A and B are shown apart, each in its own frame.
Chain A
Amino acid sequence: MKNIKNIFIKTKYDSDNLGHFGKLGGRYAPEMLIPALEELETAFNKAKKDPEFQKELMDLYENYDGRPTPLYYAKNLTKKLGGARIFIKNEGLNHTGAHKMNHSLGQALLAKRMGKKRLIAETGAGQHGLATATVAAKFGFDCTIFMGKVDYERQRPNVFWMEQLGAEVVQVLHGTQRLKDAVTATLQDWIANVDNTYYLLGSVLGPHPYPSMVRDFQTIVGLEVKQQLKENYNINQPDYIIACVGGGSNAIGIFHPFLDDKKVKLIGVEAGGKGVKKIGDHASRLQKNPKIGVVEGYKSYFIQDQDGQIQDTHSISAGLDYSGIGPQHGLLFQKNRVEYHYATDKEVIKAFKILAKQEGIIPALESSHAVAEAVKTAPKLSKNKVIVVNLSGRGEKDIFIVAKALKDKKWQSFLKTQI
């Protein structure tokens, strides 16, 4: 595979200079943070223009992270579903197990250039926290990770590994004790320690420049797919690309290089939880009466009531259990460039089992949402169509949740012996 040299590409869905994606995005931050955001923006723009920065990042992608990740033709799954050909972009093979390393490496390099000494981050599933703790260890930063209490408890393996890597993991007790509250807690820490601390945000959300910057560091995923389809399979372009969407970083990463090519259909999959009818049962922002708001420094769609109070969400996957969605996704939704569907917890577990048994790949529960969509879509398409599924992460972290959902007796009795 030829080396990719430039990840900073432009599309007609980019933000303006102030971070507005149409009417969404922006920088709705308190004065205490705005100078820090301006400093970050300046440093990022400077790094973008410096060939040394990209060279160093590409070297890390290849030799530390293990990129390029494979684009794998899932022959058995294709055969079982009996429709379109399914390819899997296996981001689970990144070092630490998910696409989160892509933007963590990029931002750690930037933090180093800015002379910061400490990294802080929010995490839901723990994959972003793990990636941040990893780059902190590698580059010698102090590191604090904020995690809602609910997520802390359900993603315990990642908490353990973050601590082994030297990070302090703080349980967030306020609000709904999930990802959004972790974001708030991290912003608050940043407000207090803005001089020496870099906020390594884990998705395409928050105030400008985060949504654009995190997207740019994830674009490597889509660029590789484009090249791998052509070089390895002689396919010029896919017909469909499917990715799960919490904040939306893996999805934007794989969509971005295809946005201006309207022939490629793009599908984002939200967490349908127990069903999208009732607030509190799901984390689907764009399914029923999407509502715009301004929270955590950006304007986008949020699950909220009439008064703009953010509401509880539910998903079997901690990484998608979030009430907001990145502002560029909001724009892509408004422009009908990306279709946003959902998968319920039940469909997700079913998809998880199919992929494991058919292909020997254990997907993260987040990524299983994308697989679930492929399971629904592929049989309806003809055999000459091509679907690419972004498998954002691998599933080892979910062992407790999956074993519980599958009511696995052997695992339950094993756990008892461990106490």
Chain B
Amino acid sequence: MNKILTQLQKIKKENRLGIMTHIVAGYPSLQKSEKLLLTMAEAGVDFIEMQIPFSDPMADGPTIMKANKVALNNKTKIKDALDLMSKLTKKIDIPLLFMGYFNTIYNYGLEKFCLDANQAGCSGLIFPDIPLDEEQQENYIEIVRKNDLIDIRLLSPASTQDRIKKNARLAKGFVYFVARKGVTGSEKSLDKSLEKNLNKIKKHLKTPIAVGFGISEKAHLNALKGKAEIAVIGSALLNQYNDKGITGVKNFLKKIG
């Protein structure tokens, strides 16, 4: 069974909100990104996204954009991200997912990438710019699943009923719900219509929901309990790391845990 499904069962059994965090492979260096991910795993998070850096990360805000740029300046290649995945999945047990933009894996070769990702122990992929609409062109979902990976579908507050239904019908593992209109980045408060938006998609979903974009405080997590299954903390944690290093990350995760 895919590790994402096992972890979802575990969270359900323990009746708690799951946590997914984010790192960028090669930021601030390959070695340090490895250490950062291990620290997160030790702190007890449930899922970690490892971003493959890209030159034009359209859905990312300033914090993660900058991390992408630094990782590329460090000459981080897709191969390095795959090697890092392989190394880390041997050390830790929670599911790791690749996050990124379609152009990198398209150029690597989608079939080859999925095969290599699976062999490296990766559990799923989050690629926001390969929507359902291009499935006929790219066979993305088909190829990802053939390689025992889970493609995480994304929904947003702008999604129409029709699109919610179409994505819900196909969804596996969990659905990533973008909490607000905008790019990634931490915010002081959660979007006011978040609960209403979550109810709108829940009607059609059989899978659990992960909520991301702008989640940065314990209060946000409390607000999400019972309304979603997973909270995604990306930029907020990276900001902690940038300001206070590994200790900052540890303390932050302890505080919200």
Contacts and interface: CB of A to CB of B under 8 A. Distances in A.
Contact of A308 (B108, B128, B158, B160): B108
Interface in A321-380: none
A28 B55 contact: no
B125 to A, nearest CB: 14
Contacts of B183: 188, 191-192
A171 interface: no
Interface stretch (A31-39, A52-60, A101-109): A31-39
Interface stretch (A253-261, A269-277, A292-300, A409-417): A292-300
B104 A34 contact: no
B72 A32 contact: no
Interface string B126-139: 00111101100100
Given A30-B59, A36-B158, A174-B69, A293 B131 contact: no
Contacts of B69: 174-175
Contacts of B130: 28, 294
Contacts of B178: 31-32
A191 B137 CA distance: 24
Q: Which of B55, B77, B155, B181 has the most CB of A within 10 A?
A: B55
Interface stretch (A19-27, A243-251, A395-403): A19-27
A191 B56 contact: no
Given A28-B131, A35-B163, A194-B181, A307 B59 contact: no
Interface string A283-310: 0000000010111110100101011111
A18 interface: yes
A386 interface: no
Interface in B41-92: 54-56, 58-59, 61-62, 65-66, 69, 72, 77-78
B185 to A, nearest CB: 10
Given A31-B163, A309-B72, A18 B133 contact: yes
Interface residues of B, number: 39
Contact of A30 (B56, B65, B78, B129): B129
Contacts of B137: 20, 23, 26, 299
A294 B65 CA distance: 18
A171 to B, nearest CB: 14
B7 interface: no
A32 B178 CA distance: 8
B181 A192 contact: yes
Interface string B151-185: 00011101110010001000000000010011100
Interface in B93-131: 102-108, 128-131
Contacts of A394: none
Contacts of A192: 181-183
Interface in B158-217: 158-160, 163, 167, 178, 181-183
B58 A296 contact: yes
A294 B58 CA distance: 12
Nearest to A25: B137
Contact of A191 (B105, B155, B182): B182
Nearest to B213: A32
Given A295-B103, A304-B107, A308-B106, A28 B158 contact: no
Given A27-B134, A308-B108, A187 B58 contact: yes
B107 A191 contact: no
A310 B133 CA distance: 24
A306 B62 CA distance: 26
Contacts of A297: 58, 129
Q: Report the contact-size class of chain A (Cβ under 8 Å from the partner).
A: 35 or more
Contact of B107 (A33, A175, A296, A308): A308
Nearest to B65: A174
A197 to B, nearest CB: 10
A404 B56 CA distance: 32
Contacts of A27: 131, 133-134
A293 B106 contact: yes
Given A191-B183, A294-B129, A28 B104 contact: no
Contacts of B78: 307
A306 B109 CA distance: 11
B39 to A, nearest CB: 27
A180 interface: yes
A192 B178 CA distance: 12
Contact of A307 (B56, B58, B107): B107
B158 A35 contact: yes
B184 to A, nearest CB: 10
B159 A35 contact: yes
A304 B106 CA distance: 12
Interface string A228-249: 0000000000000000000000
A239 B50 CA distance: 55
A307 B102 contact: no
A365 to B, nearest CB: 25
A174 B57 CA distance: 11
A170 interface: no
Nearest to B102: A294
Nearest to A19: B133
A401 B113 CA distance: 45
8 contacts: A28-B131, A31-B167, A34-B133, A34-B163, A193-B181, A304-B107, A308-B105, A311-B55
In the A-B complex, the 10 residue pairs with the smallest Cβ-Cβ separation, listed nearest first, are A308-B107, A192-B182, A308-B103, A30-B128, A310-B55, A32-B156, A309-B55, A35-B158, A308-B104, A31-B154
Given A30-B154, A192-B182, A302-B103, 16 more contacts: A18-B133, A20-B137, A28-B134, A31-B154, A32-B156, A35-B159, A36-B158, A174-B66, A184-B58, A191-B182, A191-B183, A193-B181, A294-B103, A295-B103, A308-B108, A311-B55
Interface of A: 18, 20, 23, 26-36, 38, 174-175, 180-181, 184, 187-188, 191-195, 291, 293-297, 299, 302, 304, 306-311
Interface of B: 54-56, 58-59, 61-62, 65-66, 69, 72, 77-78, 102-108, 128-131, 133-134, 137, 154-156, 158-160, 163, 167, 178, 181-183
